[in-house]
Chain A
């Protein structure tokens, strides 16, 4: 812990820290590149839509000694359509037959049971009409759209519209990346994938909101000080919540990884696997976007405000002045920012950094100089 602990401490004090906002253009570039790749992959390769979207059937059998190739022949013979057969972890088979409708299911099921020499009772059949998957997907998109509108309204009220916009961009970014990876790698898209994708929404925003919350708190009285520009404070709040972000992502990914590798490993392909795969990809993308995209974007938008422009001018002027005097202002500045909590603060007071910096500086230090 100690190493990680001190890392947290040093991040907290701003001793170390990555200049997320300053280097944002690099990350924007990387994200744009990934997004373009994703869109290209989507248009060129397209998504490998599962049987649920084409109409067809998935039969899952119990343990059988029939080989995959053999089973494929059987399934094609009895259904008259192409079949895809996969071996499952438990010795059973997963047989996908595209293009059959729900009426033919029983016959094919019985045929398969005969061919594979298993009890028909032990075959699970999942039959879907061609429109069912689309319906699930359409409803999901509908839900996504409604959710986005609501969440933007909420964020605009709870925070401000710039943050809402940034969160939305980050969200779209995550979805694009996840969908793009599915297109590029060729993973199968099933209703399970859709479920996973929808969860990412909540998660991606959850992560973003935590960073924004800290940002909002730290920038509350930003115009009353002249030490930091908005971007710098944004950077600090990202760094300050970095440990949390890492921990949260690790803790969220562990169970998902458990589902993906262990649950999926035992059963082979299936809904568990579909959900956890898209979650895994999406969670990683969500953690990335809340740090590298959402917050820098807020800073970018904020810096366009006249108030923030004025602040930046003041801060820079002050620094120039200090530099001219040859004072080591920089170190003192960060010190004050961290030391500014008056000891007499009641425990319930929110936001120790709400105090105007100038007031603190004066306290017990007439000249503002320390040495």
Chain B
């Protein structure tokens, strides 16, 4: 018993000795000052926990939110997809950025009258020679048609002999002859 009293006195002495240190006294003072805040924080935490308990205990509310969540197709597949999507986000952002640039470029071209005029003029430069060529051929055919309709004439053997003398007919017939010669050689 006497030993126990001695030990308590020693402990008390040590506490008093510690309290005599100015830094300990200062810390204690600051701790006491903060006590109201600490109490408030603990109270808030208690409120949150109580709120959670109440919500979980309220079967009606839980059912309502369960129904709401189940109306969406959110399952483990969706969650896996979200995680995968997040993994791919850096690459997707890059791709979307490129796509955005392309869309903006095309929009800029289409809205730029000077550019569309420039392009159309240049295209015209490429197309015009072909259009001109086509026009000439069409004119040629029209003239033939007109002439044929204007001067219907009797075609006889003499007319055909006259055609045969024409250089362009001769040239075509030369091709025919050359084709026949080659076919003959190949068939030997």
Same complex for A and B? Answer no
